[in-house]
Structure 1
Amino acid sequence: MEDKKPRNEAAGQKQAEVRKEEVAQYTVQKQAKTSELTNKNADYMFHFQKALAKTDLPSERQAEIVAEMTAELKEKQKNGVVANKLYGPVTEKVKELVEAPAKAEANKPQPFWMTALDNGLIMLILFCVMYALLGFFDQKSINTQANGWLTLLVTSVVAGTGLAYFYTALSPEKMAASKHKWLKMFGATGALIIVWLVAYYLVMLVPTEFNRTLSPIAYTILAIIGFGVRYYLKQKLGFKRVTF
């Protein structure tokens, strides 16, 4: 009696697996008829839907994906295309679709104002560090209007905004569509330098009493504050690294 029980359980389990396979095959055949897909493509979509249902994607989005893929397969199978070659293994295709929203968000261009703010803060920090070092090692060289607090502020704002425009004008998408890449690059660089020099010249016309030079310690404190502000905003806004 003890030997028969495990055998009966094994036989029952095998029958259940066979029944499950028959149901799956029937479902695939039914799907092939209703969707007008070949048996291979219908089988792929059957397993794809099962795997997709286990993800956290909204049911509406899942239905859209299945409908789009079914329509595409229906059209391309006329030329002998099979789903596995078109989309790859089911697990990889599902993983690609699940990760797609995150990748799209990561590749989304950063707003112009955010790029300008980030670059402006970087330039402010760099100028503060430079002025502080000059002040500590050569006090006479920094006591000029060119190193005043207003010069620091204006040049940082202009440089930050100019660099944001520079990065936007020379983005990979725009450069790929441009026929004269080097000319565009030199033009953008020249425009940035000219605007910065003009702003620098205009701020030099401001009377000294409105553009006083700060002490090296003050510039050091401003650099630390600027670094802290940028670190906080980077965590809050998520500044993206701009590349060409």
Structure 2
Amino acid sequence: MDLQDLTKKNQDFINIATHQLMQNGKTDEDIKIILEDVLPDILEHQKKGIPARSFLGAPTAFADQFITESKEPLTKSRPKNTNPWLMWLDTSLLFLAIITIATGLMNFFSKQSPTYGLITLLILGLGGGAVMFASYYFIYRHSGKPKDERPSLFKSFGLLIVFMIFWMFLYVLTAFLPAAINPKIPDIALIVIAAVAFGLRYYLKKKYNTENAFSPQPSSN
């Protein structure tokens, strides 16, 4: 985001905070990470007429919160990334990993266990991630807000049910796909897919500090 999109007050906030971060010994890369995380929040509040100083405090105090006595990675003090696409991908990879490793292990011990095609697995993983993210988006992320700012639970649960029905509908449809389009995955390949999904999820979460859709949100009254 271009700093020119900010108001004069918010530009001053960023300039002072940047100078203080430099004084505190932060590298250019550290400062870039901090600003990339906070600028979207500043712009979002700016649209509501709320300057950065009002919700982040004084710029020097904001910068000082990133001073750490230990050598812990900066990502541990960074705000959580709530990018919808990253959160959906995070939950989808988790669902995909769980389904594939569970199916692969069961098939090793029982020939009666279900086998899934490639498209079916993708629908289960990506759809499950979408449903979980929808739960976060419509319900969990509002748990920390005052009651009068929360959306209607009736409406939220109604939307979740629609998402789940659509997910199950797509899953059922995959049973009618020909094997050439929806090939069965060998057991050992399922274990490999699970390992790759877990590894990719770990890498992306570490790199982008993605918010966990399963985490309860802090409450405020």
Normalised by the size of structure 1, how large is the TM-score? 0.52
Superimposed CA distance per residue, residues 33-89 of structure 1 (whole angstroms, 9 cap, x where no aligned partner)? xxxxxxxxxxxxxxxxxxxxxx93589xxxxxxxxxxxxxxxxxxxxxxxxxxxxxx
Picking from 81, 96, 99, the partner of 2:65 is: 99
Q: Which has the larger radius of gyration?
A: 1
2:163 is the counterpart of 1:197: no
Shift of 1:117: 0.6
Residue 179 to residue 221, structure 1, CA distance change in 2 (3 Å): closer
Return the letter of the residue paired with 1:99: Q
2:160 is the counterpart of 1:168: no
Structure-2 residue corresponding to 1:56:
20
Mapping of 1:226-237 within 5 angstroms? 226-237=197-208
2:109 is the counterpart of 1:137: yes
Q: Provide the rounded CA distance (Å) in 2 between the counterparts of 1:218 and 1:113.
A: 27
Shift of 1:108: 5.8
Structure-1 residue corresponding to 2:26:
none
Structure-2 residue corresponding to 1:212:
183
Quick check: 1:166–1:192 contact (8 Å CA) kept in 2? no
Structure-1 residue corresponding to 2:118:
149
SS of the counterpart of 2:112?
Answer: helix
Mapping of 1:40-119 within 5 angstroms? 56=20, 98-99=64-65, 106-107=78-79, 110-119=82-91
Quick check: 1:149–1:214 contact (8 Å CA) kept in 2? yes
Structure-1 residue corresponding to 2:52:
none
Percent identity, aligned pairs only, is 26
Shift of 1:136: 0.7
Residue 175 to residue 238, structure 1, CA distance change in 2 (3 Å): same
Aligned residues: 152
Q: Provide the rounded CA distance (Å) in 1 between the counterparts of 2:108 and 2:146.
A: 44
Normalised by the size of structure 2, how large is the TM-score? 0.57
Q: Per chain length, whose mean CA-contact separation is higher, i.e. which structure has more relative contact order (CA < 8 Å, sep 6+)?
A: 2
Residue 127 to residue 236, structure 1, CA distance change in 2 (3 Å): same
Unaligned runs of 5+ in 1: 1-54, 60-93
Shift of 1:220: 0.7
More helix, by proportion: 1
Q: Provide the rounded CA distance (Å) in 1 between the counterparts of 2:200 and 2:184.
A: 22
Q: Provide the rounded CA distance (Å) in 1 between the counterparts of 2:151 and 2:181.
A: 47
Residue 140 to residue 169, structure 1, CA distance change in 2 (3 Å): same
Structure-2 residue corresponding to 1:126:
98
Quick check: 2:89–2:129 contact (8 Å CA) kept in 1? yes
